[in-house]
Structure 1
Amino acid sequence: MSFTIALVSGLALFVPSVLILYAIALTARQATDSSAHAAWKKFRRLTAITALASLIAAVAVWVAHPGTDPVWIIQDWLGLTRFSVIFALLVQGLGLVISTFSARYLEGEHRQIYYITWLACVLGSVQVLIFAQHWIILITAWSAVGLSMQKLLCFYPDRPFALLAARKKQLADRIADLLLILAAGLIWFEVGQGSLAALESHLAAGSAGLTLQIGSILLVVAILIRTALLPAHGWLTQVMEAPTPVSALLHAGVVNLGGFVLIQLAPLLDSVIWARWILIVMGLATTLLAGLVILTRVSIKVRLAWSTIAQMGFMVLECGLGLYTLAALHLIGHSLYKAHAFLRASSTVQDTRVRRMHQPVQYTWPNLVAAPALALLITIPMISLPVQSTGATGLPIWWAVLLAMAWSPLFWQGRQPANLHRFSFRIHLWKLASTFALIVMLSLIIRITHLVPLGVTDSPAPIAGWVSALAMSAFYAVLVCMQVCPARLETLRRWSYAGFYVDELYTRMTLRLWPGQWMPDQSNRRTASRLWMAGGDRPTMP
């Protein structure tokens, strides 16, 4: 049985490696766009086989390997865990959908072979990263993901702001790579080995030394940068000029890799309290800031980008609070939602236009104040109370309070227009019942998935949890004030629209390292100037 699992596990890693080899082959034989149709056909077959191999590996690991130890492909270097096979299946499934969508989306475009090449590299590198059990493999694969994604973001090289955002991402990635190397070196020095399994054994045997604690803090900072949290978040909102399937892949399967690594390194976080507090503070700050910015944005794709930043902040907060199982659920749900949202962005525009046809909704004080009480009435018994018949313990009460504050706006009900006053009671009752059902369903999902054996153990932090719950309550109070007396918060609204100017300093630093210069487009003198993100002498004017 163990040989069969090892064989299946090797297949799950071998097939994505074929994707990378296929990308190299396309580049080596210098395929042209005239052969794009055949290349897409072969690539879709490979992604389908990859998704199937990931599915077989997931079933094999979950059915035949009940333990928490990895199923080794290469001892101490590459291995599969229960959580990693689920995430691998998710990413490769999304890769299949995105590749199918891309073939139609890019039909008639130039540089399709270029796109296929780097998309294959991204999917293959992500699979290697997911199965990495050694610092060398993890850092190398993550760097390869960043470099390949960089190429996809620059698919349209004549779009200046796409290049600017790509440069900002490149700077963030290189800083994160440097911090990762330093962190891995310090941790390796104390543990004596580069294997993640050896690190876990070292932590189980005794407390973490100073060297390991410093390495853990550097590691957390590197992951925060990679996950597009404050203050290195700006590039994620500015890559909207890349093809839509690239945005879907970025938001659904690349930017959230930081959350996956945090969950995999949960024993290390539990041993270094300062690392967890960094996650809590930065995750909470990012969530609250991005949540305010979303309320002021109009562009659909930009709102989705800020939503991703807020969701990444919330997922990092969950990891900092020690709720790793919920973070894993959040990661999977966010990936599915964002892929769906970006791939149907055109329909989202139509839906938004329909919503804007309705009259502005006015909320009342009693409704806004009663909403948290109604949410708490559901979340506390559904999430926090233990189930005596099964012996299952509930989640912390502070987590139920935090979720109640986050879900309270679902209970907001505005005044009905004059022509609907006769139906007002029925409409309010229907909305109230549907919201109750939605929150009950979400609470049940959280409660059930909390019992799924993903191989990670939660370690809640009560003090930090109550601090986070109070911060979320304060955020809800700000939302209420913005609804009731928006004129008094006009300054806050302007600052929110500008993202509180956090990204400006980072942009200036990027432009100092890669100076841009404005020049007329040589192909069309009447077009607007365009920004070339490259150094060198200023071209002469014709």
Structure 2
Amino acid sequence: MIAGAADLTFLALSLPFVAACLAPVLFRLFGHRAAWLLALAPAVSFLHLAGFIAEVARGETVTGGYAWVPSYNLSFSWYIDGLALVFGLLITGIGVLVVLYAGGYLKGHPQQGRFFSFLMMFMGAMLGLVVSDSFLMLFVFWELTSITSFLLIGFDHERPAARRAALQALLVTGGGGLFLLAGLLMIWNIADVTQMSLLLSYGEVVKASPYYLAALLLVLVGAFTKSAQFPFHVWLPNAMEAPTPVSAYLHSATMVKAGVYLLMRLYPAMGGTPVWEILLPVFGGGTLLTGALMALRQTDLKLMLAYTTVASLGLLVLLVGFGSPYAIEAAVLYLVGHSLFKGALFMVAGAIDHGTGTRDLTRLGGLRRAMPVTFAAALLAALSMAGLPPFFGFLAKEEIYLALAAGNLRSILFTIVAVAGNALMFAAAFAVALKPFLGESRQTLKHPHEAPALMWIGPLVLALAGLAAALVSTAFHAAISSPMASAVRGEATAIAVGPMPHVGLPLALSAATILLGLAAYRLLDRLRDALARFFQALGPGPDQGFDEVLEALVACAVKVTRFVQPGRLDIYLSVTFAAVAAVLLLPLFLWGEAPSEPAFAWPSLSELAMLLIAVIGLAAVLVAVDRLTAIVALGIQGFAVAVLFLLFGAPDLAFTQFMIETLSVVILALVMTRLRLHASDRRPAGQRLADGAVALGCGLGLTLLLLKATEGVFDTALGDFFGSYSKVIAHGANVVNVIIVDFRGTDTLGEIAVVLAAGMAILALIRLGKTQKQSGK
């Protein structure tokens, strides 16, 4: 990619973040009309990505990026093939419609600027995730989607339910992200690459590694939590506490499909193994049935759609892991089709809520005359979701049954699961699209009305797109579906399924799905009651389990904190130095690393004198009757050590030691005079012995460690460097000071910041003591 094109791509990927920064200002200036201006950001990004369609369709890839930390091979780099391109087009294309829809949905809301800022950040994070080539950048954007979704789900933060749902989503998906990070690090160590584009050619190396299973399990936890696979699915329905534009965007083209994207991206490197083809279909099939059954139990339109999203994600995971030649093609078609019809249906649910004031299915009916455009969009989207020709959902369903149907027991079992799940989703689709609009008008609804244009443009466009894509399927497959399937499979793939039904087993299974779906739709009320009794009999589900785990975690944290933080400084110091002694001594003796007996030269008279002074100072510390005397005696040892440095030809180090010891004694003496402490040490004898043992352990450990270090060959390279360049580069003759101030200046700055913070804390304590003393407390 040439530099100019790379700059344009970087700009296109960055536009959502730029829009996020401008959103609050634009809404203050233009009000709800600012939605049109913000929609330009994803629109421009969409058009730029669309310019790569022809190039990617020819089997080429678009790459680029900028070095971040070259020494560690870390970069912000992008890799746009068929998979990344389709996801990018869905994110930006549906993003345009969601931004416009949100402008109508939140018209007049006082916090529109904040909402759109969060929404655009979320869009940018998701776009960065799907195009990232670097492991590190993928993880950064992965976690950023969790953070921004937390802000969106908890947008109405005054409601406890919204806060709980946001926290649950953050903990589940963010926790899964930590597993993903561990998995990526393990893959990095296995294949010795840090970029997805390079990893794709190391599939055999990864699969042959003894650490393959561990890496796969870690990655699957990250993917399953993000894409709401059972039992991690509970966060997704609860995320309906977010405003409907968030639900429409999150459930159609963005966060919930991030896990599926990751599985598709890693398929050439990690897929096709027995464990892959066992775990993914089992968890996916279980999630499909769980989500579909829970959907029919609901009466809230958004919750019904949310649980069908859970079911659809399960179906996608099942297909990615199934292993048949057509399974990946089916997954690609269903992912695109689901993005279109589910985004439309969520927007329809929001329009119904906006026009009637309720989403309760049992209170809705007869809206077709009051909301004709919304009804048309709902019906078109439901026909695609139901898998009826000539909609794109039909193409996906035909390919699904072609991929699953075979004569072996495994295929038969998962075909039954797919038929049952699709039939239940068929019923849910028409429950959302027909029941609110057909029948007699409900008296409980006051003045139902059509939503404003901004709210019906999005669902109508997406629903018609699902029809148009199927009608021009040949061209659509060539430009979109086939390049995406080729990228996932790692080999050229041509999808040929069209909107015209063909006699065969897939069509027969589609017919069976329709008949079962019609039966479930007709018996919806009785089925809902039966499912309610069934799930109630099962007892508390994962959602309540999340609360119980969180409560137990908090209770455990409180107990641990009270144990390790009892509020006594002497305990903290004793535990800290005991741990230091253990870390120093145990490795030396457990693994045979103790130093050999050293051969000391007899010291000179001056050296013996300094050693004797140090010993005298130590004895003075131990026998001192008050703290101030002990502090002064402690400085004697420091001065003796400084003189030793001077005798051994290190005047710079000696002068530094003199200054440090002087300041230490002065500061400690001043502090002690300000604190209300006992004049003498009143510790009992047992505690003194214990503290003495810890002190001796630390001293012995450091001594043995230094002796072990000095047994090696002395390398003078670093000393020679500082001696040669301290004067030339830093213009300082004092080597020690130059090292501290110049060569490791940033480290020293950090240490100064720590000392400053500690000094401020000490000053606050002293002033607090004065205040309490003056108040008589």
Tell me the TM-score normalized by structure 1.
0.70
How far apart, CA to CA, are the structure 2 residues paired with 1:214 and 1:263? 19
Deviation at residue 278 of structure 1 after TM alignment: 1.9
Residue 511 of structure 1, CA deviation: 4.5
Partner of residue 56, structure 1: 51
Residue identity matched to 1:66: G
CA distance in 2, matches of 1:482, 1:39: 42
Q: 2:226 maps to which residue?
A: 226
1:409-467 per-residue CA deviation (whole Å, 9 max, x = no partner) reads 779xxxxxxxxxxxxxxxxxxxxxxxxxxxxx999979x959824323289xxxxxxxx
Residues 3-152 of structure 1 aligned to structure 2 (within 5 Å): 3=2, 8=5, 11-24=8-21, 33=28, 36-37=31-32, 39-62=34-57, 65-67=58-60, 71-73=63-65, 77-152=77-152
Higher relative contact order (CA 8 A, sep 6+): 1
**How far is 1:499 from its partner?**
8.3
Q: CA deviation at 1:493?
A: 4.0
1:502 equivalenced with 2:542 (yes/no): yes
**How big is the shift at 1:9?**
6.1
Aligned-partner residue type, residue 456 of structure 1:
V
State the 1:339 CA deviation. 1.2
The Cα of 1:178 is off from its aligned counterpart by 1.0
**C-alpha contact (below 8 Å) 1:54/1:88 kept by paired residues:** yes
Computed over aligned residues only, the root mean square deviation of the Cα atoms, in angstroms, reads 4.5
Provide the C-alpha distance between the structure 1 equivalents of 2:333 and 2:23, rounded to a whole number of angstroms.
Answer: 37
Determine which of 334, 342, 347 is the counterpart of 1:343. Answer: 347
Is 1:261 aligned to residue 291 of structure 2?
no
**Which consecutive unaligned segments of at least 5 residues does structure 2 have?**
68-74, 369-393, 428-468, 492-508, 556-777
Structure 2 equivalent of residue 293 of structure 1? 294
Local SS of the residue matching 2:12 = helix
- Alignment correspondent of 1:171: 171
Q: Distance in 1 between matches of 2:520 and 2:33?
A: 57
Question: CA contact under 8 A between 2:297 and 2:528: conserved in structure 1?
Answer: no
1:457 paired with 2:496, answer no
How far does residue 210 in structure 1 lie from its aligned partner after superposition?
1.7
Distance 1:499 1:256, change over 3 A: farther
What's the CA shift for 1:344? 1.2
Could you tell me which amino acid in structure 2 is paired with residue 328 of structure 1?
A: V
Provide the secondary structure at the position in 1 that maps to 2:79: strand
Letter in 2 for 1:251: H
Aligned-partner Cα distance in 1 for 2:85–2:472: 24
Match of 1:526 in 2: none
Q: CA deviation at 1:113?
A: 1.5
**Cα distance, 1:356–1:505 mapped onto 2, change above 3 Å:** farther
Structure 2 CA distance for partners of 1:326 and 1:103, relative to 1, 3 Å: same
8 Å Cα contact 1:9/1:80 also seen in 2: no
Structure 1 residues 390-469: aligned runs within 5 Å: 395=403, 397-398=405-406, 401-402=415-416, 452-454=482-484, 455-457=487-489
Which secondary structure does the structure 1 equivalent of 2:232 belong to?
coil
- TM-superposed deviation, 1:169: 0.6
What CA distance in whole angstroms lies between the structure 1 residues aligned with 2:264 and 2:202? 18
Relative to structure 1, the CA distance from residue 161 to residue 488 in structure 2 (aligned partners, 3 Å threshold; closer, same or farther) is closer
| Aligned AA (1:507) | D
Give the letter for the 2:316 counterpart: M
Q: How does 1:228-243 map to 2 (within 5 A)?
A: 228-243=228-243
The structural deviation recorded for 1:324 is 2.1
Aligned partners of 1:300 and 1:348 also within 8 Å = no
One-letter amino acid of the counterpart of residue 316, structure 1: V
Contact preservation (8 Å) 2:281, 2:322:
yes
Deviation at 1:478? 13
Asked whether the equivalents of residues 330 and 399 of structure 2 are also in contact (C-alpha less than 8 Å), the reply is no
Q: Which residue in 1 is equivalent to 2:316?
A: 315
2:310 is equivalent to residue 330 of structure 1? no
Distance in 2 separating the partners of 1:25 and 1:172: 31
Query: In structure 1, what is the Cα distance between the partners aligned to 2:244 and 2:403?
Result: 38
Q: Looking at CA atoms only, which structure, 1 or 2, has the larger radius of gyration?
A: 2
Alpha-carbon distance in structure 2 between the residues aligned to 1:124 and 1:383: 32
What's the counterpart of residue 372 of structure 1? none
> Distance between the aligned counterparts of 1:341 and 1:484, measured in 2?
22
Deviation at 1:505, TM superposition (A): 0.6
Letter aligned with residue 452 of structure 1: S
Q: 1:17: how far off?
A: 0.6
Contact 2:423 2:517 in 1 (8 A): no
**Which region of structure 1 is more displaced relative to structure 2, 305-314 or 398-407?**
398-407
Note closer, same or farther for the CA distance 1:482–1:514 as it changes in structure 2 (3 Å cut): farther
CA contact (8 A) 2:249 2:343 kept: yes
Q: Percent identity?
A: 22
CA distance in 2, matches of 1:86, 1:487: 41
Q: What displacement does 1:40 show?
A: 3.5
Paired amino acid for 1:319: V
Unaligned runs of 5+ in 1: 358-377, 386-393, 412-440, 460-469, 516-542
State the distance in 2 between where 1:35 and 1:17 align.
23
Single out whichever of 339-348 and 402-411 deviates more from structure 2: 402-411
Q: CA deviation at 1:180?
A: 1.0
Query: Taking structure 1 as reference, are residues 504 and 396 closer, same or farther at Cα in structure 2, changes over 3 Å only?
Result: closer
Counterparts of 2:22 and 2:518, CA distance in 1: 54
- The 5-angstrom pairing of residues 481-496 of structure 1 reads 493-496=532-535
Output the amino acid matched with 2:59.
P
1:300 deviates by 0.8
Secondary structure of 2:211's partner? Answer: helix
Q: Look up the SS of the partner of 2:241 in the other structure.
A: coil
1:119 positional shift: 1.2
Cα deviation, residue 384, structure 1: 9.9
Do the aligned residues in 1 keep the contact of 2:191 with 2:199 (CA within 8 Å)?
Answer: yes
Structure 1 residues 59 and 444, CA gap change in structure 2 (3 angstroms): closer
Give the aligned residue type for 2:482. Answer: V
Any idea what the Cα deviations from partners look like across 1:495-526, whole Å, max 9, x if unmatched? 336886232111222345579xxxxxxxxxxx
AA matched with 1:397: A
Aligned equivalents of 1:173 and 1:225: distance in 2? 5
Matched letter for residue 40 of structure 1: A
Distance 1:181 1:488, change over 3 A: closer
Identify the residue that residue 203 of structure 1 maps to in structure 2: 203
Change (3 A) 1:54 1:442: closer
Task: Describe the SS at the equivalent of 1:452.
Answer: helix
Contact conserved, 1:129 with 1:138, CA < 8 A, in 2?
A: yes
CA deviation map 1:189-245 (0-9, x unaligned): 111121123322222457421223311111011100111121222221122232110
Q: Describe the shift of the 1:205–1:10 C-alpha distance in structure 2 as closer, same or farther (beyond 3 A).
A: farther
- Aligned in 2, Cα 1:116/1:219: closer, same or farther, shift over 3 Å? same
Contact kept, 8 Å, 2:153 with 2:240, in 1: the verdict is no
TM-score by length of 2: 0.50
Count the aligned residue pairs.
444
